[in-house]
Amino acid sequence: MIKEHYTAPVLQYIPVFYIIWSDDLLSASEINVVENAISNDVSLSSADKKQLKGWLNVKTPPKNELFKSWKQLIINSDVKLIEHETFPLTAFSQKVTSHYHNDISFNDQIKNIEINLGIQPNHYNHLFDVHIDLEKKSSQYSATTIDTILKGEHAEAIDSFRAVLKDPIFSWEVRRNKEEFRNHVLKQVEFLADKGYGAMAYPEAYGGTNDMEGYATIFENMMWADGSLTIKFGVQFGLFGGSIQKLGTKKHHDQYLSATGKSALLGCFAMTETGHGSNVRGIKTTATYNKNTETIIIHTPGKNDNKEYIGNAIHSKMASVFAQLIVNGKNEGVHAILVPLRNKKHELLPGVTVEDNGYKLGLNGVDNGKIWFNQVEVPKDNLLNKYGTILGNGDYYSEIKNPNKRFFTMLGTLVGGRICVARAGLGGAKFALTVAIKHALKRRQFNDSVKIQEDLLMDYPSHQLRLTPLLASAYVYHITLDKMMSLYCDESQPDKRQIETQVAGLKSIITWYANDTIQECREACGGKGYLLENRIADLKGDVDIFTTFEGDNNVLLQLAAKGVLSNFNAEFNSAGFSTVLKLLSSQLSDKLSTINPLYTNKTDKEHLYNPKFHVHALEHRTRRLTYTIAMRIRGYIKKGIPSYQAFLKVQTHLMTLGKAYSAELAYKSFLEHNKAMTNAEYKALFEKLGTLYALHEIRKDASWYLEQGYISGTKSKAIRQRVERLCTELRPHLDSLVDGFGIPDHLMTAPIAN
């Protein structure tokens, strides 16, 4: 009998040794964990300890014959691994030993190895016979607690909103006729307005609660009901109403804001033009002041100068029109003017032409259209004049004398819309992740000659690697967007240029992330993900546009990069290189600390999991890119190349910098949040999510780090292995983590997720 070869205390360690030598990621620090456990195990004799420690030498690992005998010993015990036990490996070892040596007590030292090495069932369930338990078991982490952490101080607003979404009007179903779909979405918007959510971000005097932060948080919750609802809601109350609130003055608030919040006045936000897209400063629509009649004439000068892709265009009575304001023959730059579109009978007013955009890839419940204006006359008071006004004598006046600063100040007030778009995209990604992960926790595929039951999709390392880093990113971006909205709403910080730079970059990487995540989830669900009933197909269409509205991501990344380069000045010009020497000193400091081979080649777990390493790596990338791009631009300008042309030459470099800066900002925001967490157990979980995000981000850009000599090939490989290990360590908690998003059961309508 094999039991004669090993004492009972030694035999308990055999499954542990079988696992750790099956893993090619056994580092010195992990060997130290096992050695300490053996040393502290009072059940082991001196001879037992010597025998066990002899199997821990990486230079002379156990021979194949010994390894096979361990496997046979485990198989002959007929013991099955039970995944849902609190410490499955320790319990498994106890049962295997008990088979050969009668009843054996639970070994706390093996439990410590299981905990400290982060060994999870999916590390080894391919090695052992597994007991398949189809019943859902309680997890180490409570989804309710995680949801509470994510809701933060907005829990009351979010919970009450989720309760409102239980109304049958929000029941999801396939709707393919755009007219019927649009009318249904309009009813949903009016329903929410009646509940007070339309005016939520407005002052109390106009029916609101002045809760812009709470307003942003409900956006992702609304996405779980329907994307078209989310966007139409945002256009009506955020863009149209927001322009009145942020760009108008008290007279506009008194006249229009309450009616807008109640959806009694339906409006649209007419900024983008067919011919000028993201170039707001270059729009062609004019608003010419007539001193004699004290009116403003709104006009579309050319065929392609119309307002394009305007949400709410078919239902609206009024538009907030952005146009070049011309006073006394002088162009004072882009301003917003309220322009009536239709009368009480919903008939178009003279001079106004509206054309339906028709069917789109997604969001067909939103009535997008094109608008032309032919010498449309409105009162002077319709100018939203917070930052620029027309005086009684007919002259233009603004307290902001610099037209560039005035332009960016006006646009800066609308940054909240970009945060809400990112938030909605994140909501779509969370929904898709929940569907894909819950499907993978039930769906079985393939097996080997030993197992009767097929393996769960989520137990395949490749599947974990596809979805788990995306899940970690969702948590990082959630916390980051919460922080950005808090900063945006901070009235003690009136200068919004820095937050505008930050949000421009974050909106870009988060909406791209959302699209990539939804696509990965669609593929991870196979044909089931392609069915409309499982919601991912519509999410693909709905979220796709988020990358180009409220600012094209490619343009916004350049805006973010220019903000970094100019130290958040509104304009970057040839005289703006005063920060180069500071950047140079930072770069030299980085270089001195990274050329050390000990750092470049360091691969132990403690180092790779240390947030200081993550921050250093992400900061180094941003600083290095900032320094090199500044040097390139300065070199071009010294040669006499105009600054605009210089920027074109480094355009792709700018976008790389924008992405790097945004990823660093997101990770630092998440770290800041985690430091304030008081529950040690959940703090550890969030820290693990942050570690996965950071290492995965570094891994994605490994070629750059290798080119710069920041990491060696050995370290790059170690990072890849650690990303895979973290995915498996988080595997037991995936169900709790997606449930922690807080998607209510009545909104999780995808059949494969239930």
- Mind listing the pLDDT tens digit for each residue in 468-482? 999 999 999 999 999
By the 8 A CB rule, do 348 and 416 touch?
no
- Cβ neighbors of 333 (< 8 A, separation 6 or more) are 281, 324, 325, 388, 403, 406, 407
pLDDT digits (tens, 9 = 90+) for 303-356: 899 999 999 999 999 999 999 999 999 999 999 999 999 999 999 999 999 999
For the stretch 610-669, pLDDT in tens is 999 999 999 999 988 988 888 888 888 889 998 889 889 999 999 999 999 999 999 999
At 539, which amino acid appears? L
Q: How far apart are CA 544 and CA 570, in angstroms?
A: 30
The rounded mean pLDDT for the chain is: 89
Mean pLDDT of 246-270: 97
Per-residue pLDDT, 166: 97
Helical pair 143-151 and 155-164, crossing angle rounded to 10 deg: 110
**Which tens digit of pLDDT belongs to each residue from 121-151?**
666 666 776 654 444 444 689 999 999 999 9
pLDDT classification of 63: cutoffs 50, 70, 90? confident
Mean pLDDT of 716-733: 91
> Out of 168-172, 260-264, 570-574, 683-687, which region has the weakest mean confidence (pLDDT)?
570-574
Name the DSSP letter for residue 414. Answer: T
Q: At residue 432, does pLDDT exceed 80?
A: yes
pLDDT, tens only, 504-557:
999 999 999 999 999 999 999 999 999 999 999 999 999 999 999 888 999 999
Q: How confident is the model at residue 24 (pLDDT cuts 50, 70, 90)?
A: low
Cα 523 to Cα 471, 510, 533: the distances in Å are 16, 20, 15
Q: How remote is the C-alpha of 268 from its chain's centroid?
A: 27
Predicted local confidence at residue 1, as pLDDT: 37
Q: Which of 28-42, 68-82, 101-115, 235-249 has the highest mean pLDDT?
A: 235-249
Residue 585 confidence (pLDDT) above 50: yes
Residues 749 and 431 sit within 8 Å (Cβ to Cβ) = no
Q: Which two tokens mark 426?
A: 């994140």
Please give the Cα distance from 602 to 607 (Å, whole number).
7
3-state secondary structure 264-310: CCCEEEECCECCCCCCHHHCCCEEEEECCCCEEEEECCCHHHCEEEE
Q: Under a CB-based contact definition with an 8 Å cutoff, are residues 81 and 88 in contact?
A: yes
Contact 617, 599 (CB under 8 A): no
The answer, yes or no, to whether residue 67 has pLDDT greater than 90, is no
Between CA 506 and CA 172 the distance in angstroms is 30
Give the pLDDT score at 80.
81
| Whether 690 contacts 667, CB under 8 Å | yes
Greater model confidence, 15 or 700: 700
The Cα 485–Cα 137 span in angstroms is 37
On the question of pLDDT at 171 being above 60, the answer is yes
Question: CA 504, 690, 538, 306: dihedral to nearest 10 degrees?
Answer: 0
Strand 307-310 and strand 369-373: the pairing is antiparallel
Confidence at residue 588, expressed as pLDDT on a 0 to 100 scale: 54
Residue 106 sits at the vertex; the CA angle it makes with 102 and 108, to the nearest 5 degrees, is 145
Predicted confidence at residue 353, as pLDDT, reads 98
For residue 218, name the pLDDT band (cuts at 50, 70, 90).
very high
Helices (H), 443-579: 461-488, 497-524, 526-530, 536-544, 553-565
Helix (H, G, I), strand (E, B) or coil at 336: strand
437 neighbors 262 (Cβ within 8 angstroms): no
* Interatomic CA distance for residues 275 and 284, integer angstroms: 9
pLDDT at residue number 589: 60
More reliable by pLDDT, 97 or 368: 368
- The predicted structure's pLDDT at residue 553: 94
Express as a percent the part of the chain with pLDDT over 90.
66
